[in-house]
Amino acid sequence: MYPASTTKIMTAILALENCELSDVATVSQNAIFSVPVTYTNANLQLDEELTIEQLLNILLIPSANDAANVIAEHIAGSVSSFASMMNTKAREIGCLNTNFVNANGVHDENHYSTAYDLALIGQYAMKNETIMNIVKTTKYTLPITNKYLKEDRIFTTTNKLINSKSNQYYEYATGLKTGYTDAAKNCIVATAEKNGSKLICVILGAKGDTPIETNKFADCTTLFNYGFNNYSNKTICEQNTVYKVINPKNASKDTNSLNVLYEDTIKVFVNNSYLDSDFSPEVELDENLSAPIEKGAIIGKISYTVDDTKYTTNLIAGQDIESNSIFSIIIKILVIIFALYLFSKILSSGNRSSKKKTYKNGKRKKSSKKGKYAYISPYKFEY
């Protein structure tokens, strides 16, 4: 379906991944005049210089189409080159049915997405703190620039869910981006958070002939309430808590019980009808472990499959496990005996090389026969 200005979520993502907020971009003629007259703009001026931070605010709050073009040209040199970057990023995020041809969502037959893909893009975007802060802002004023010397460009959010003065206000809403074209009708990628649970809702093609006359906000509220009322985060396992206790082989008497701990916390968002007994793990653990074992050593892993999604964490040793003392003593004795044996061999070899035959009152005398020696002593003994 046509995503309209929800496209700008991807534009914001690439701006933050390729620029610094303080970077300055210059407004081109194409950035201004390629926007159809019926589309929203921020009254940007030719050769006006704005920071990326300023452009992001007018991109996401009032949905300025000229701002999207400025960002695209600043990063990629042209809107078409930027669209290629958008498609590459979409595939990286996991979108399989999305194709962008521009940076703002101006209608084009070849510019399309799906509710699921936009949910992935929205989820990715809301991991960025800058985007999170901007999309919950209800009012923004562009400062004086090199080409515009007044501060009368004041913008308000198009997202009624976050506007407390609107009759469509939803107290748990946190963003994200609306959209509208005649072909796309009313669109929104909305986010909300309640009691630690975060939801994302995408509506495309909602009824209503204008961006104002629409039921997309009411539909978001209905869907969010359904999600919060029927689903919640459940902690399957918590970091550094005990999975089980085992008795390693050859452990000392004082450390013969090993606490096997979860290395990480695993939380899942599931229907409230799930019971703890529904989470049956797959465990790979060497229960024939032998001491010594170092605290924190990985000794296995555990996995839970919930709604066809697999969650895995390592199992680690909760404390040091020392070897059995008797066993250690035997090993040490054997090592000492072996060391003494080697030392005696070395000593014996050294003595043989330096030892000379001596006899009391004797003299060493070379024999006249080759290779023979005679020892003459008072006893007149010869050999």
Q: Given 22, 28, 34, 63, which residue is catalytic?
A: 63
Quick check: 359 pLDDT over 80?
no
Establish if 202 belongs to a structural domain. Answer: no
Establish if 255 belongs to a structural domain. Answer: yes
Assess whether 89 carries a catalytic annotation: no
Q: Model confidence at 221, in pLDDT bands (50, 70, 90)?
A: very high
Domain C-terminal end among 168, 191, 214? 168
Q: Given 5, 28, 113, 323, which residue is catalytic?
A: 5
Establish if 196 belongs to a structural domain. Answer: no
- Same domain as 302, residue 347: no
Establish if 182 belongs to a structural domain. Answer: no
Assess whether 81 carries a catalytic annotation: no
Tell me if 177 sits within 8 A of 187, measured CB to CB. no
Establish if 224 belongs to a structural domain. Answer: no
Residue with tokens 């919640």: 232
Tell me if 121 sits within 8 A of 95, measured CB to CB. yes
- Same domain as 24, residue 117: yes
Domain C-terminal end among 283, 317, 351? 317
Establish if 90 belongs to a structural domain. Answer: yes
- Same domain as 253, residue 347: no
Residue from 256, 328, 329, 241 nearest 289 by CA = 256
Q: Given 8, 160, 177, 234, which residue is catalytic?
A: 8
Residue with tokens 């035959």: 357
Handedness of CA 6, 11, 12, 13 (dihedral sign): positive
Q: What percent of the chain has pLDDT over 90?
A: 71
- Same domain as 148, residue 60: yes
- Same domain as 98, residue 82: yes
Q: pTM for this one? A: 0.76
Reported as a single tens digit per residue, the pLDDT across 133-158 is 999 999 999 999 999 999 999 999 99
- Same domain as 128, residue 144: yes
- The residue type found at 233 is N
Give the separation between CA 35 and CA 292, rounded to whole angstroms.
Answer: 70
Burial bucket for residue 225 (CB in 10 Å: 0-12, 13-18, 19+): middle
- Same domain as 34, residue 155: yes
Residue 346, number of CB atoms within 10 A of its CB = 9
- Same domain as 87, residue 13: yes
Least-confidence region, from 7-11, 99-103, 237-241, 250-254: 250-254
- Same domain as 146, residue 98: yes
Cβ-proximal residues to 28 (8 Å cutoff; 6+ apart), any chain: 46, 69, 70, 73
Q: Model confidence at 382, in pLDDT bands (50, 70, 90)?
A: very low
- Same domain as 17, residue 140: yes
In angstroms, how far is CA 81 from the centroid of its own chain?
28
Residue from 75, 53, 79 nearest 66 by CA = 79
Establish if 176 belongs to a structural domain. Answer: no
Instruction: Find the domain containing 292 and state its range.
Output: 238-317
- Same domain as 150, residue 33: yes
CATH number at residue 249: 2.60.410.10
Q: What are phi and psi of 11, to 5 degrees?
A: -60, -40
Number of structural domains, the chain? 3
Establish if 199 belongs to a structural domain. Answer: no
Mean pLDDT in residue range 130-135: 98
Assess whether 127 carries a catalytic annotation: no
- Same domain as 254, residue 162: no
Reported as a single tens digit per residue, the pLDDT across 196-212 is 899 999 999 998 756 66
Domain C-terminal end among 284, 299, 317? 317
Return the DSSP state at 321.
Answer: B
